[in-house]
């Protein structure tokens, strides 16, 4: 999986120091690293070795939109240009290189290991992956993703989730830029407009997801449209968090703020329980991404809303565990190369 990386917080002003009892600079969210690590571990433990649904990819969808939305919200509220084109160039320059290297290796393996009768099909998957359209290739072929022993299985099926994210990385900045223009034209708060837009995206996509998982589950699994509500949930979580009332704190924040106190702790516990429980509750017979995807996505949103942990909280445990497993991410931000839920 890939996701927007958390930007580095600005250095504190001379003479300033981190808040008492804090081991991290202002704006740092160790719980996000923890959530990444937990999602990767769930994918590895329950997807590669069992017939359970891990929910890890759904967690990454929520997290991706949370970070992306937070980046653009900060730009709007600080009066900075959105720089959408620069965001696209920077993001895809980071993603396309490693993807191309991986595809060249797969292409060599295809030519060496697969019969010529399958080359045309597999080459279409290579192009689909490189163009971030692999999910639509698989949806058009009505591939059963969990039929791991199927003769139709290809070495690039896992890139479907990267394709979905790539499409969202193109669409979301446009939606956020449109929200900023609409808010300015109507004299409304940016967050009010953005919340309305993403609530509509959530409702429409979720309703379509329910219909399609019932009528065409193989197509619905890969469709970007049926997955948009998961990203919209991450955006709504970022928009629900309030800004600091102190400009100097806002200037240091690298990710959205969080709910504080007992409510934040409760959200962290509830969210962690929902995410971890997903593979125990769902097997590969569950139809994704309908109601079955609510547990990992709502759980991830709850953890993100709960914010940076205090020692001994579930979010603190997550962040410590992520450091042990290296946050579960490589240079390209992949989740073990599976791309499954």
DSSP calls for 60-82: HHHHHHHHHHHHHHHHHHTT---
Lowest mean per-residue pLDDT among 120-124, 203-207, 292-296: 120-124
Q: What is the band of 113 on the pLDDT scale with cuts at 50, 70, 90? A: confident
Quick one: pLDDT at residue 151? Answer: 56
pLDDT band at 207 (very low <50, low <70, confident <90, very high): very high
pLDDT tens per residue across span 243-294:
543 444 444 444 555 565 677 788 888 999 999 988 888 776 667 788 989 9
SS3 content of the chain, % helix, strand, coil (to 5): 65, 0, 35
pLDDT at 103 > cutoff 60: yes
How confident is the model at residue 6, as a pLDDT? 42
Q: Which residue has the higher pLDDT, 152 or 241?
A: 241
**240 within domain boundaries:** yes
Using CB atoms within 10 Å of the CB of residue 161, give its burial: 0 to 12 exposed, 13 to 18 middle, 19+ buried.
Answer: buried
Q: What is the count of structural domains for the chain?
A: 1
What's residue 245's pLDDT?
37
Residue 326 has pLDDT above 50, yes or no: no
pLDDT for res 141? 80
Is 19 a domain residue?
Answer: no
More confident residue, 272 or 16: 272
Q: Is residue 128 within 8 Å of residue 136, measured between CB atoms? A: yes
Instruction: Give me the domain span that covers residue 59.
Output: 30-328
**DSSP-derived 3-state class of residue 52:** strand
Q: Is residue 66 part of a domain?
A: yes
Does some domain include residue 335?
Answer: no
In angstroms, how far is CA 26 from the centroid of its own chain? 23
Q: Is residue 192 part of a domain?
A: yes
Q: How far is CA 293 from CA 162, 206, 213, 297, in A?
A: 18, 10, 11, 6
- The answer to whether residue 57 is domain-embedded is yes
12 within domain boundaries:
no
Quick check: is 204 in a domain? yes
């Amino acid at each position: 999986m890939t996701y927007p990386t958390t930007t580095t917080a600005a250095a504190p002003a001379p003479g300033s120091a981190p808040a008492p009892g804090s081991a991290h600079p202002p704006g740092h969210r160790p719980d996000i690293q923890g959530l990444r690590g937990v999602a990767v571990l769930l994918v590895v433990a329950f997807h590669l070795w069992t017939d359970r649904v891990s929910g890890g990819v759904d967690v990454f969808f929520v997290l991706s939109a949370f970070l992306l939305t937070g980046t653009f919200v900060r730009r709007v509220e600080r009066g900075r240009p959105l720089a959408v084109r620069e965001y696209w160039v920077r993001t895809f320059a980071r993603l396309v290189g490693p993807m191309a290297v991986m595809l060249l290796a797969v292409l060599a393996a295809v030519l060496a290991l697969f019969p010529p009768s399958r080359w045309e099909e597999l080459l279409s998957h290579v192009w689909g992956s490189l163009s971030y359209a692999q999910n639509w290739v698989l949806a058009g072929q009505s591939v059963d993703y969990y039929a791991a022993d199927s003769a139709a299985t290809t070495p690039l099926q896992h890139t479907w989730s990267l394709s979905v994210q790539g499409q969202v990385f193109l669409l979301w900045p446009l939606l956020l830029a449109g929200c900023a223009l609409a808010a300015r034209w109507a004299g409304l708060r940016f967050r009010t407009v953005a919340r309305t837009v993403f609530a509509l995206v959530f409702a429409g996509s979720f309703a379509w997801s329910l219909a399609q998982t019932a009528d065409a589950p193989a197509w619905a699994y890969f469709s970007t449209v049926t997955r948009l509500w998961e990203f919209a949930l991450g955006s709504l979580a970022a928009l629900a968090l309030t800004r600091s009332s102190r400009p100097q704190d806002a200037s240091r924040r690298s990710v959205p703020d969080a709910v504080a106190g007992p409510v934040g702790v409760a959200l962290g516990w509830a969210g962690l329980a929902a995410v971890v429980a997903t593979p125990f509750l769902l097997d590969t017979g569950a139809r994704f991404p309908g109601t079955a995807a609510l547990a990992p996505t709502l759980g991830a949103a709850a953890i993100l809303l709960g914010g940076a942990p205090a020692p001994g909280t579930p979010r603190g445990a997550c962040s410590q565990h992520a450091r042990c497993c290296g946050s579960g991410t490589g240079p390209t931000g992949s989740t073990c190369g599976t791309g499954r839920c």
